[in-house]
Amino acid sequence: MLNEVRTIYLDSDLDIEAYRFKGIMQKFPAHFHEYYVIGFIEEGQRFLACKGEEYIINPGDLLLFNPYDTHSCARIDGKTLDYRCINVTPEVMKKVMLQINGEDNLPSFKQNVLYRSELVSNLRELHVKITQEDHEFKKEELFYHLLEDLIQTYSDLAIVPQASETSHEIKTVCAYLEENYTKTIKLNDLSALTGWSKYHLLRSFTKQMGISPYSYLETIRVNHAKKMLEQGNKPIEVAFLTGFSDQSHLTKNFKSLVGLTPKQYMRIFESEGGTS
């Protein structure tokens, strides 16, 4: 079909594939993959058969296929399909499980369809970050949190609770983020700083601070951006000076936390003659 769009993104940071299908009419006969597939329906309705079970899947439904889960899919009432998914090889999943549990046992998902799953929004955000070639730090956070939720709730493996940590390492991470907010920071940097696995770092930091490491970093950047805007610096200059990738990145995060765009915030102080 002329209106069909099929796009594959290869994410070298996470070492996974991200597929996006738009306006698809194709029927997919019985087949399987050698990797995990985690996907969701954006538009359209489909008939899915998987491992002897039959499903009607709709927008907002999350699909989970283990390696070698045989499945087929066909359209209903002539509707087209919009679909996004990520493909995770067993090798990558082993690395993730080693980070999470200290062992590289592979999980097996017990359900193939999660109807109207709240995790769809998490997967969509991750998928968009991948397609936009966004920052590795944020993508890794989203990736680990998504897999943690799926494995803990819907697989045959349990995630072993970790002991409470002292705040020393967390304070070290906070200080590092505050001192290096203008630089490109990776989760690997913070992991090396503490000697913890990336997963353990994410869990411990978020538990103690009530905010993820990446969100903490973005908050620091926005706070510095506010001060610079109050001093009359232009948003495009502020974005560069505070570690944001570009002005749109600054605007998105600034408005999310402050409720105003950088330009709107700057005008407040211009009208007051530069005083607060």
Radius of gyration of the chain (CA): 22
pLDDT of residue 166: 65
Which residues neighbour 190 within 8 Å (Cβ) at sequence distance 6 or greater? 173, 176, 177, 198, 201, 213
94 and 11 Cβ atoms separated by less than 8 Å: no
Could you tell me which residues are beta bridge partners of residue 82? 43
State the average pLDDT over residues 81-87: 95
Residue whose tokens read 């369809």: 113
**pLDDT of res. 276:** 39
Separation CA 251–CA 248 (nearest Å)? 5
Closest by CA position to 97, among listed 165, 144, 32: 144
Which residue segments constitute the domains of the chain, with CATH numbers given?
Answer: 5-154 (2.60.120.810), 163-276 (1.10.10.60)
Residue range 226-241, pLDDT digits in tens: 999 999 999 999 999 9
Task: Give 239-247's long-range contacts (Cβ < 8 A, gap of 24+).
Answer: 241/182, 242/181, 242/182, 243/181, 243/182, 243/183, 243/184, 243/217, 245/135
Query: Distance (Å, rounded) from C-alpha 41 to C-alpha 122?
Result: 14
CA–CA gap between residue 89 and residue 99 (Å, rounded)? 16
Nearest to 170 by CA among 211, 214, 201: 201
Closest CA to 227 of 243, 238, 216: 238
pLDDT tens string 191-207: 999 999 999 999 899 98
Q: Please state, in angstroms and rounded to a whole number, the distance separating the CA atoms of residues 138 and 186.
A: 9
Look at residues 168, 153, 230 and name the one whose alpha carbon lies nearest to residue 204. 168
- pLDDT 10s digits, 19-54: 999 999 989 999 999 999 999 999 999 999 999 999
200 token code pair: 């353990």
Residue 32 buriedness (CB in 10 A; 0-12 / 13-18 / 19+) = middle
Report the pLDDT value the prediction gives residue 272, as an integer from 0 to 100: 61
pTM to 2 decimal places: 0.84
Largest CA distance in the chain: 71
